[in-house]
Amino acid sequence: MKKAIGLILIFVFLAVVLLGGMAWAAKYRFTFISHAGEENPFWAAVYRGAQDAAKLLNVDFMFVRPKEEGDLPAQLSQFEAALAQKPDGIITTIPHPDMFDEVVKKAIDAGIPVICSNTDDPEGAKGNARLSYIGQDLVQAGYFLAKKVTEGLPAGEKYHFLISVGGPGLVWAEQRAKGITQYLDEMGYTYERLDTTMKMDVAQSRIQAYLQAHPETKGVIAVEYNHASAAKAAKNLGYKPGELLIGGFDLVPEVLAEIKSGYIKLTIDQQPYLQGFLPIVQLYLMREYGLSAWDVNTGNAVVDASNVDLVLELSQKRVR
């Protein structure tokens, strides 16, 4: 009798394990192919968002990126490799206007839906077969940033600005720069672009040299997070907090610290958590319910002295 009860208990245990495993097995596999990785504080928030969505919806999620940030040929090769694995959906950044056109169409033709996150083709759906874009409207964001940075300047006066471009030629950098220059042109301000690279120490050196050579510069507007480098350069040159108008994008720790110091006027948060979370949700809804993809502008959240403490707390959790 005891032996029979023991066998029954074993069978019950195995049934629970097997059925439980079947119930909790991930139904779909999604792959996120990015030009940057989670060691970058910005991309850590994207990664966290995707992880949270995958856990919530019980889907398998793989994040793939080049060893070196911005290695686009490597990213393209990783996309090709992902196709061979036949995932249920792909999320990708499109940091080059032409390089990813063919491979995305190849995926779509194979029945694998592709959602674009963070960086889109300059022509949107006309330029690439991706089904939707989840990210910031880059041109509009650049325009908005320039307007906010220069807000409060006396009307009718002419000022000169430096535009920091950390990734010249890349879609995200050029689109934001386009919006910035559109606004500065409308206001009649003069400006000069400077290739600052994505290395903050190099950017600081180049910006500092420019400011020394052009003391008439009223402010520095960055298409990336090099406004933190501009703040450090301003300190080294003896500027007082707020004397040089400085603004840019994203919430890396150095940026938040310089907002608290008063050297950065503001930064624009494109809310990267949403750029990870929402693509997973879209792919799931497309697969599970046959819904179509839709574009999402993740916005222009202004972070300045009024809310930096709250955002700093959230950024440490990789949510902002």
Q: Which residues of 175-199 are buried (b: 16+ CB within 10 A; e: fewer)?
A: bbbebbbebbeebebebeebebbbe
Beta strands 132-135 and 89-92: pairing type?
unpaired
Domains 27-136+271-299 and 138-269 share a fold: yes
Q: Which parts of the chain have pLDDT scores under 70?
A: 1-24
**4-42: per-residue pLDDT in tens?**
333 333 333 333 333 344 445 889 999 999 998 887 878
How far apart CA 262 and CA 242 sit, in angstroms, is 6
How far apart CA 243 and CA 261 sit, in angstroms, is 13
Phi, psi angles (nearest 5°) of residue 25: -65, 140
Q: What angle separates helix 253-261 from helix 227-236, to the nearest 10 degrees?
A: 40
Q: Are 173 and 133 in contact (CB under 8 A)?
A: no
Phi, psi angles (nearest 5°) of residue 135: 170, -170
How far apart CA 246 and CA 221 sit, in angstroms, is 6
Q: In what order do the strands lie in the sheet with 190-195?
A: 190-195, 160-165, 217-222, 245-249, 266-269, 301-303
Distances (CA, A) of 195 to 60, 107, 267: 39, 35, 20
How far apart CA 194 and CA 318 sit, in angstroms, is 30
Place of tokens 């930096």: 308
pLDDT at position 196 is 97
Q: Select from 1.10.10.10, 3.30.450.20, 3.40.50.2300, 3.20.20.80 the CATH code of 138-269.
A: 3.40.50.2300
Q: Which residues of 258-278 are buried (b: 16+ CB within 10 A; e: fewer)?
A: bbeeebbbbbbbbbbbbbbbb
How far apart CA 28 and CA 93 sit, in angstroms, is 21
Q: Are 28 and 88 in contact (CB under 8 A)?
A: yes
pLDDT at position 269 is 94
Cβ atoms within 10 Å, residue 71:
15
From the number of C-beta atoms within 10 Å of its C-beta (0-12, 13-18, 19+), residue 17 rates as exposed
Q: How many residues belong to the chain? A: 320
| Domain 27-136+271-299, second-level architecture | 3-Layer(aba) Sandwich (3.40)
pLDDT at position 84 is 95
Contacts (Cβ under 8 Å, ≥6 apart) of 29:
59, 60, 61, 62, 85, 87, 88
Domain range summary for the chain, segments of one domain joined by +: 27-136+271-299, 138-269
**133-170: per-residue pLDDT in tens?**
999 999 999 999 999 999 999 988 999 999 999 999 98
